[in-house]
Amino acid sequence: METSRLTDRAKAVDRRPMTFLESLYLWSIVKGMATTLKHLFRKKATIEYPEEKRPFAPVFRGLHVLNRDAEGRENCTACGLCAVACPAEAITMEAAERLPSEAHLYREEKYAAKYEINMLRCIFCGLCEEACPKDAIYLSQTFAPANYGRKGFIYKKEELLIPHPIHQQEEYEKALGDRKPAAKS
């Protein structure tokens, strides 16, 4: 039976016994050393991480950020749509009613008194961002840093809230990244 060749790159294996010079391996070793020497002068593939970071793709979905509006009021109204949308059930929240004296802190009458995301459960799908009607949550371009315990991965409001756009302008802009700032309402 004749077998048909799949490619024309097949090479017959040379099974002749080695000659004396070949059996000293010297020439093959010299060839191998030339190959490694070439690599000595190659560009290194290493990225020195803490100093140098790889850029993320624009669609990268990283840690969550709770957004504020241009006056620094929290957008979240604790409607719970993000928690409903979350396929990993990573989001929990407790709602509270805004007091008249807190009008500069929260944009609407209801706000999230407690807002937690378990980063060990989260699958970073971004469905919470899509579900949010108030542009209150979005995924940033940083990832969750390592931690010593599981508790450290439950992110509270302090970790999630974006810095205040007026009082901490520099940090705010850094956290915003290439996202457009919240429109004045």
Partner 1 sequence: MHMLAIDIWFILEKVVLIASIIGLSFFVAMYTTFAERKVAAWLQDRRGPNRAGPFGIFQPLADGGKLFFKEEIIPMTSNRFLFILGPALAMITALITSTVIPWGASYVDGTTQIALQVADVDMGILIVFGIVSVGVYGIMIGGWSSNNKFSLLAAIRGASQMVSYELPMGLSLIAVLLMTGSLKMSEIVSHQIQHGWHILYQPLGFIIFFVCALAECNRTPFDLPEAETELNFGYHQEYSSMKLGFYLFAEYINMFISSAVMATLFFGGYDIPFVDESAWGLSPLLFSLMSFSVLMAKVLFFLFVFIWIRWTIPRFRYDQLMNLGWEKLIPLSLVNMLITAALTLWLNK
Footprint of partner 1 (CB under 8 A): 20, 23-26, 29, 32-33, 35-37, 39-40, 42-46, 48
Specify the residue, 18 or 105, whose C-beta has the smaller distance to partner 1. Answer: 18
Task: Write down the least CB distance from residue 21 to partner 1, Å.
Answer: 10
* Between 6 and 146, CB nearer to partner 1: 146
* Residue (42 or 104) nearer to partner 1, CB: 42
Q: In angstroms, what is the minimal distance from the CB of 54 to partner 1? A: 16
CB-based burial label for 148 (10 Å; 0-12, 13-18, 19+): exposed
**Smallest distance, partner 1 to C-beta of residue 148, A:** 21
The string of DSSP codes covering 19-87 is PHHHHT-HHHHHHHHHHHHHHHTSPP----TTTS-PPPPTT---SEEE-B-TTS-B------HHHHH-T
CB of 16 to partner 1, least distance (A): 18
- Name every residue whose Cβ is closer than 8 Å to that of residue 162 and which is 6 or more positions away in sequence: 65, 66, 67, 68, 172, 175, 176
Residue closer to partner 1, measured from CB, 7 or 23: 23
